[in-house]
Amino acid sequence: MPLSPHHLHRSVDPRLQTARIFILGAGGLGAPLAWFLARAGIGHLVIADSDRVERSNLPRQILHVTARVGAPKAESARLTLQRIHPATRVTPIPARITATNILQAVAGCDLAVDGSDNYSARHRLNRACLNCRIPLVSGAVSGFEGQVATFHHGVDPEAPCYHCLYPETNANDTSETDPTTCATAGVLGPVAGVIAALLAAEVVKTVLNRPAPHDTGSLRLINLRNSLDLRIAIPKDPACPVCARPPILPNPPT
């Protein structure tokens, strides 16, 4: 008997079924991440990517296929995800996410995932998560190395944000390309897959509200060449221009 979308999701937690997740980037991280999230039963994925599929993407960007070289990545992602898991709704945004349109793109989502490859986009999404009061799951890959962090600054005023970890400087503010990520440093497909799986686990854990005690304010660093896996604390920057709370003024002299 063929299975309906209802049957496919019969054992999925309803919080996953009703979750709406924004994914910035349908490339090295975003493609396998979206694949895992659809398989996990996430109900709605909003996927933003302004790039088109290139032949060189295919070894690691597992949502795209040879026949779609030249097609918008966001739309290619939707086509593959609808085929493998029709119960997951996919909204593609095949446009560049700018300071002007990001709030509209993220609005209504329960959580955002950063799988982009440039500093400007990362900082833009960090701010949008604060404005929209949602958590941010952030990933990066370079060679054999990867990073994963979940930022709760949108929902917890005590939590640090991406800017606390990587302050926006003139150098990285004006450069679109993050030198530590795939655009310039090269990414191995299996490394992107591992980091994407960890990002998916962070998303599921956050949607199900099952954080570990160290989750707020820590960065996980993984190096698959030397089997390194460590976690470092991210202190909240009391002067962070994004997430610092308004300063507490001293009592006026009496």
Q: List interacting residues with Zn ion (CB under 5 A).
A: 161, 163-164, 240, 242-243
Question: Which residue's CB is nearer to Zn ion, number 71 or number 240?
Answer: 240
- In whole angstroms, how close is the CB of 181 to Zn ion at the nearest point? 21
Residue nearest to Zn ion (CB): 240
Closest distance of CB 233 from Zn ion, Å: 14
Find the shortest distance in angstroms from Cβ 243 to Zn ion. 3
Nearer to Zn ion, 173 or 229 (CB): 173
- Residue closer to Zn ion (CB basis): 40 or 242: 242
Continuous segment of H or E residues that includes residue 16:
helix 14-17
Active site residue 243: no
Number of Cβ within a 10 Å radius of residue 76: 27
**Which residue from 77, 75, 129 is spatially nearest to 102, judged by alpha carbons?**
129
Rounded CA gap, 119 and 105, in Å? 18
Determine contact, residues 136/154, Cβ cutoff 8 Å: yes
Q: How far is the CB of 245 from Zn ion (least distance, A)?
A: 10
- Select 26 or 243, whichever has its Cβ closest to Zn ion: 243
Whole-number Cα distances in Å, 217 to 125, 129, 138, 150, 223: 17, 15, 12, 7, 20
Catalytic residue among 109, 129, 164, 182: 182
Report the C-alpha gap between 123 and 133 in whole angstroms: 15
Reported as half-sphere exposure (CB side, CA atoms, 13 A), residue 213 has a value of 0
Name beta bridge partners: 48: 24, 93
Active-site amino acid positions: 182
